Amino acid sequence: MKTIKLSATDSTNSFLKDLSQNSTLENFTTVVTQNQTKGRGQQQNKWVSDPYKNLTFSVFISFQDLKVIQKKYLNFAISLAIYNVLFTKNLPKPSIKWPNDILSANKKICGILIENTFSGDRIKNSYVGIGLNVNQETFPEYLNNATSLKLETGIAYDLDILLPTVLEEIKKNIKLLTSKKFTLLEEKYLDVLYKKNIPTMFKNSKDEIFMGIISGISDFGKLQVQLEDDTIKEFGLKEISFL
């Protein structure tokens, strides 16, 4: 497993994608930087991270036989890998917030961005970007729901030790994925899904507020919510938010 360390870059995902277009990459090649200047999150959001304090890295994963329709299981595998590592750190109430934010209680500690290339009906390569808040102790005011390992546990972590631990867990879960252990991955993901089976207030893309209960994830990775009339409605990433 090759690791490329950069002192600074705009985006580790962008760097890794450019690298893969110009060379043949070993599976699980990882790019990690001490200072990511233009980190990206879901929905074109920015990922803000203080230099030298956190883990900002991307992993290249190639697949031989993963269908596009099975994409949600890739998300399960990566999310669970980060969750599993953080669970060992005795965080308060760790969970996965759909689709792949990792929370401690109600605060975000890790964000994941998965970008794929395709060949026909198969996923060819994935670029898995991860921003894990580790030793950062203050965040901008507009990130009032952000937290870090140090804030939650009172412990400062060695980034050079933590990164290989995370990468090994990713490799283990990708092995489950390529072995087609889809049911196991889904069960584990749903077991730790934030607010699952709990009556919750949501807001849709029309700013309508409604009560619902998260019941599962559809075949296409959409969030399934049971409404007050007991019907199940499915929502994409930009179609629903927690109130």
DSSP sequence for 114-132 = EEEEEETTEEEEEEEEEEE
175 in the same domain as 212: no
Mean pLDDT calculated for residue range 62-87: 98
Same domain, 128 and 225: no
* Closest residue by Cα to residue 214 from 230, 201, 231, 226: 226
- 213 and 94 both lie in a single domain: no
Question: Are the C-beta atoms of residues 102 and 109 closer than 8 Å to each other?
Answer: yes
Same domain, 35 and 89: yes
Edge-to-edge strands, sheet with 30-33? 3-6, 30-33, 55-67, 122-132, 107-119, 101-104, 94-97
pLDDT exceeding 70 applies to what percent of the chain? 96
Looking at the structure, tell me whether residues 116 and 213 fall in a common domain.
no
Summarize the confidence of residues 43-50 as an average pLDDT. Answer: 68
My answer on whether 29 and 129 are in the same domain is yes
Confidence of residue 44 (pLDDT cuts 50, 70, 90): low
Please give the structure tokens belonging to residue 129. 């970007």
Same domain, 41 and 103: yes
Question: Within 13 A of 233's CA, how many CA atoms are on the CB side?
Answer: 14
Domain count, the chain: 2
Distance CA 192, CA 182 (A): 16
Closest residue by Cα to residue 243 from 212, 194, 202, 210: 202
State which of 169, 191, 213 marks the end of a domain.
191
Alpha-carbon distance of 36 to 51, in angstroms, equals 7
Please say whether the beta carbons of 133 and 149 come within 8 A.
yes
Q: What percent of the chain has pLDDT over 90?
A: 90
pLDDT, position 26: 97
Q: What is the pLDDT of residue 37?
A: 83
Rounded mean pLDDT of 73-86? 98
CB atoms within 10 A of CB 233: 17
Question: What mean pLDDT comes out for the span 57-86?
Answer: 98
Question: What is the pLDDT confidence band of residue 46, given thresholds at 50, 70 and 90?
Answer: low
The residue out of 191, 210, 226 marking a domain boundary is 191
pLDDT over threshold 80, residue 19: yes
Query: What is the predicted pLDDT for the residue at 92?
Result: 94
**pLDDT given for residue 204 in this prediction:** 95
SS3 185: helix
132 and 205, same structural domain?
no
> Residue 100 corresponds to which tokens in the numbers above?
């792949």
Output the pTM of the full model: 0.94
Judge if 87 and 140 occupy the same domain. yes
Residue 49 has pLDDT above 90, yes or no: no
Read off the CATH number of the domain in which 63 is found: 3.30.930.10
Query: In CATH, what number is assigned to the domain containing residue 214?
Result: 2.30.30.100
Number of H helices, E strands in the chain: 5, 14
Average pLDDT, the chain: 95
Q: 152-204: per-residue pLDDT in tens?
A: 999 999 999 999 999 999 999 999 999 999 999 999 999 999 999 999 999 99
Same domain, 228 and 184: no
Domain hosting residue 50, numbered range = 3-191
Indicate if 23 and 100 belong to the same structural domain.
yes
Distance of alpha carbon 175 from alpha carbon 173, whole angstroms: 5
Whether the predicted pLDDT of 81 surpasses 60? yes
On the question of a cis peptide bond just before residue 94, with omega within 30 degrees of 0, the verdict is no
pLDDT at 130 over 70: yes
Residue 136 and residue 224 in one domain: no
Q: Of 191, 219, 234, which residue is a domain's last?
A: 191
Instruction: Determine the pLDDT at residue 48.
Output: 74
Rounded Cα distance between 184 and 178, Å, is: 12
Does residue 229 have a pLDDT over 90?
yes
Give the residue-averaged pLDDT of 97-119.
97
Q: Is the pLDDT of residue 231 over 90?
A: yes
Per the rule left: phi > 0, alpha: psi between -120 and 50, beta: everything else, 120 is left
